[in-house]
Chains A and B, each alone.
Chain A
C-alpha cells in the first residue's frame, strides 16, 4: 500500500491505513489533535469543523484518505492556550462559550467565515446575491448556523466575531448594523 500524506497545521503526516477512518477520527485518535470535537458524527452539529485549504468543512463526514496533499488547519494551529489568536481572545472576553465543547468548531468556522466575507460570498439572507454582501448581525448568524451551541452562547459568539471584524485590518466594506 502506498503511503499518502496530508499537512496538518504545517506538518506532514501519513494518512491512516483504514479507509473507514474519517478526517475527524484521524486528527483525534492518530494525531492526538482533540480540539476538533465529535458531537454527532453526521454533519449535524459543526463541532468537528476544521479548515481544509482554508475552507471550513465537517471533518466527521470526510474520509481521511480523501485528503492526500491537503493543507488542514485545526484549532491547535490557530492558537494554543498560551498563544491565543485575536479571535480566540475575543471568545474569552465575550464569554462566547460555556461548556466549551462546540467552541473549537465555532472558532474554526468563524475564521473561515472571515475569508468568505472578504471574498464576497453571499448567504441565504443576502438581499442581492450578486452584490458584495453587507456585514450585519443577521448575516453573521446565518453564516454561523452550521455550528450548534446547546449552552446557548450564540449572542456572545456573534459579539466576539463582530469585535474581530471591527478590529481586523482590511475588513470588507459594507458594515451595517453589526
Chain B
C-alpha cells in the first residue's frame, strides 16, 4: 500500500514530528541491536554462507598495464588437482561499477587497461587448489601500441574538464589577488587512497533455475541488482542479493565489483554455487582508488580579513571515459565567501585502477587542503584561524545565490575550541617542547554536502504490538539497524525491544543503500513516512485526528481515550510502504553538515615523526538519530583524517603503472597506537530542509577537514608547513630547526 504523502521532498517538513512523539528513544545512545551477533562472531558475512556443493574461484590479475590478452594456457591449469574451470568470459568486469551506476561497467577482460586488472577466474573444489592454479595460470599478452601515461603529471596525459561537475566562475580572481591586503597562492598535493574495508570483496553466486542469488558484500543493493543483471543480460527481476552484514565499504562496495560477475558466470557454467573472494592484494589493485590530487588554492582578503577572492583548482585522474572525477571543490563552493572565484576540477586520463568514491569523495581531500591554506592565510594576516573562518561565512552561497539551510559552523568552532582548550595555543610555532617533542595545535572546519536520495521501506505493525521494519538498506557499520528501529519505535510508540529491523535483502523494498552519508536520512525518512501512514490508520481506529494521536509503550491514546495497540489492531497487521525522493528542497537550499576539528600533535625534534596526542571534533548534522552510533561515525572519520594526514598513500611505480604497496603491511591505515583519545561533541540542531527527520548525513563528516587540522598543528608545533600529504617524516625532516638549539626561533622572534 502506498503512502498518500507525496514522494518528492519539495518543502521543508517543519512539523518536527519526532520532537512531539513520546516514546523518547529517538537520538538516544542505544546499543546496536546486531551487536551481540557481531561480538560473538555469529553475524554472517558474504563469504560465510554454507551452500552445499559450493566451490571456490580465485581471480587472476594482469601483469601488464595496457594491451590485449592473446592466450590463456588453461589446459595446464585444468590438469591441476581439483581445478574445475578457467574462465575469461567477455561479460567479466574490467572495471568495477561506480556508485549508483545501475548499469554494467566496462566489461571484456581480454582488453587490459591497468596493471592488476582481473583477466581470468580459476575455479576449483577448494580454495587452496584454486589459489595454486590461479598463480600457475600462464597468460600471454600483447602490449598496447600507444599506451596512455601512468602519471597524471605526464605531458602526454590527456586532461579534460570533470564530466560531472561545472566549474564555478565569478568576478575576477586575478584582480582580487592583486588587490588583496593579504593573500596566499599555494599548491598542495594529496596521494591516492584505498578504502581498505576490513572485509575483502566477496560473493557467493547461486543459480536456482534462471534466478540468480548473490550473497555478497555490497553497499547499494538496489543499484547492484541492476548492474549485475545488465552485465549478464538478464532481467533485474531474476536477481536477488543478500547482504545482511557488510564488513565495511567506504565507497569500495557501492557498485558491483569483479568477483560478483565472475562468480555468477562460473556458477552458471558449473551448475553449482561458486564463491569468489578477492585477496587483499587484489582488492588494492583492482577495486576503486581515491584519485590523487594536485590542488591550487588562492585566497585573497581585504585588510579586515574578509575574503574577496577564492580559487580552488584541482587536477585528479581516472581511466578514460569514467564519469567520476574526485569532486575536490564540492564544499569550497559553499563554505566561505569571496565573490571573485574560480573553482574547477580537471581530470587526467591515465592507466591506473578505476578512481571512484572513497569515504567522503571530494571533501576528504578538498577540505584538508582548503583548511590548511586558510591556516596559512590566518598566519599571514596575524589573526586567530577560528576568527578568520567566522569572518567569512557568507549569507548566501557565492555566485549561485542559494540560501543555506541550517549551518552550525560557528557553534562547532566555538564549542569545540572551548572543550579543546584552544586558548592554550601559542600562535607562534616552536614555543612548546616536551623532551624531544615539539607540541602544537591546529584547527580546521568540517563540511560535507547533504544528500537525500530515493528510498523505500516497509513497516509492519503487527497484531501483537510489535513492529517489523524491512528494506534492502545495508548496514556497513553505520548503524542502520539501530537507527531505523529507533525511528519506527519512536513513531509507533514502541519500546525498542518490540521493533525488529530486517535489512540487506533485495526482495524487500529498495532503501537508499549506504553511501554518501545519505543512507540514514533517506531510508530513515522512508521508515518515518511508513509509520506516519500507520499512525493515520491507528488514529482512525481510535477515532481521533492523526495529530491528536499519542503513542507510547504500545498504548494509543488521545484525550481521555486510550487503548493498547493489540486491542486496537484486533488481530490484524498494518503494513505500509513509505517512500521519499529528493525534491525542491535539494535545489532551494545549500545543505551540508558542518563541524570543527581541533588537533594537538607532537613532532619529534630530531626525526620529524608526528604523533597525534589528542583530537576534539564538534559536529552539527541536524537531528541526532542515535548518539552512540553517530559519535562512532565521527570518531571513525577522524581516524581516517589521521591516516590521510600522516600515513596513507598509494604508491605507484611510474614505469609500469603497478601499485607497489598493495597490502596492509605497506599501505598504512592507522593502528590503535596512532589514535589518541578523541573527544566528540554532537551539537543540537534541526534541519528541516534536509529531511523530514530534520537530520543530515554524518557518516563522512568526521574526515572532511580533519587532516587539515593535523597539518596546521604540525606547523604550529615545529614551524614546518608541508604542502604534500601524507606528512611523513621525510617531508618534515629537512625543514626542522636544530634539535639541540635551546630556542631555534629566538633570533627570528
- A interface, CB within 8 angstroms of B: 18, 20-21, 25, 28-29, 32-42, 44-45, 47, 74-76, 78-82, 84, 88-89, 91-93, 95-104, 107, 125, 137-138, 140-142, 144-158
Pairwise interchain contact B477-A98, C-beta atoms closer than 8 A: yes
B31 contact from A33, A37, A80, A93, Cβ within 8 A: A93
Contacts of B37 in A (CB 8 A): 81, 100
The answer for the CA separation of A20 and B36 in the assembled complex, in Å, is 33
Instruction: Report chain A residues within 8 Å CB of B670.
Output: 152, 154
Give chain B residues whose Cβ lies under 8 Å from the Cβ of A150. 195-198, 248, 250, 669
**CB pair A153 B636 closer than 8 Å:** yes
Grouping DSSP codes into helix (H, G, I), strand (E, B) and loop, the B interface class, with mixed when no group exceeds half, is loop
Given contacts A39-B199, A141-B675, 6 further A-B contacts (CB under 8 A): A25-B128, A36-B41, A40-B663, A99-B249, A104-B40, A151-B632
**Which residue from chain B places its CB closest to the CB of A98 in the assembled complex?**
B477
Q: How distant is the Cα of A37 from the Cα of B41 in the complex, in angstroms?
A: 9
**Interface residues of B, count at CB 8 A:** 62
Contact A37 B199 (CB under 8 A): yes
Most buried by A among B197, B636, B672: B672
Residues of A within 8 A of B633 (CB): 98
In this complex, the member of B37, B45, B637, B675 whose beta carbon has the largest number of chain A beta carbons within 10 angstroms is: B675
Main secondary structure of the interface of A (DSSP, over half): loop
A148 partner residues in chain B, CB cutoff 8 A: 198, 664, 669, 671
Contacts of B79 in A (CB 8 A): none
Check B198–A149 contact: CB distance below 8 A. Answer: yes
Contact across chains for A95 and B41 when beta carbons are under 8 A apart: no
A138 to B478, CA, bound (A): 27
User: Contact: A99 with B247, CB < 8 Å?
Assistant: yes
B673 and A145 contacting across the interface, CB-CB below 8 Å: yes
Residues of A within 8 A of B675 (CB): 141, 152, 154-155
Closest to A154 in B: B675
Q: Which residues of chain A are near B128, meaning CB under 8 Å?
A: 18, 20-21, 25
Bound-state CA distance A5–B174 (Å) is 76
**How long is the Cα–Cα vector from A158 to B639 in the complex, in angstroms?**
14
> What's the nearest-Cβ distance from chain A to residue B282, in Å?
11
Picked from B48, B126, B635, B677, the residue with its CB within 8 Å of the CB of A152 is B635
**Considering the chains assembled together, what is the distance between the CA atoms of A103 and B43 in angstroms?**
11
Neighbouring B residues of A154 by C-beta, 8 Å? 635, 639, 670, 672, 675
B424 at the interface (CB under 8 A from A): no
Contact residues of B with A, CB < 8 Å? 31-32, 34-45, 47-48, 50, 126-128, 132, 195-200, 245-250, 277, 279-280, 476-479, 628-629, 631-633, 635-640, 663-665, 669-673, 675, 677-678
Contacts A84-B36, A103-B39 given: A42-B280 contact, CB under 8 Å? yes
Q: Report Cα–Cα, A157/B478, bound state, in Å.
A: 16
Which chain A residues lie closer than 8 Å to B245 at the CB level? 99-100
Chain A residues, Cβ within 8 Å of B48? 28, 34
Q: Which residues of A contact B196 (CB under 8 A)?
A: 150
B632 & A144 in contact (Cβ 8 Å cutoff): no
Complex A-B: 20 CB contacts under 8 Å: A32-B50, A34-B45, A41-B279, A79-B40, A88-B36, A95-B631, A98-B629, A100-B34, A100-B37, A101-B45, A137-B677, A141-B672, A144-B672, A145-B673, A150-B196, A150-B669, A152-B637, A153-B635, A154-B635, A155-B677
- Shortest distance between the CB of B492 and any CB in chain A (Å): 25
Q: How far is the CA of A47 from the CA of B477 in the complex (A)?
A: 16
Give me the 4 closest cross-chain CB pairs, A-B, nearest first: A35-B41, A152-B639, A101-B247, A98-B477
Question: CB-CB < 8 A to B669: which residues of A?
Answer: 148, 150
Distance from A160 Cβ to chain B, minimum over Cβ atoms (Å): 9
Shortest beta-carbon distance from B189 to chain A in Å: 24
What's the nearest-Cβ distance from chain A to residue B628, in Å?
5
| A91–B477 CA distance with the chains assembled, in angstroms | 14
Docked CA distance A28–B127 (Å):
12
Bound-state CA distance A69–B275 (Å) is 32
* B contact residues around A37 at 8 Å (CB): 45, 198-199, 247
Q: For the complex formed, measure the closest distance between the CB of A36 and the CB atoms of chain B, giving whole angstroms.
A: 7
Say how far B35's CB is from chain A's closest CB, in angstroms. 4
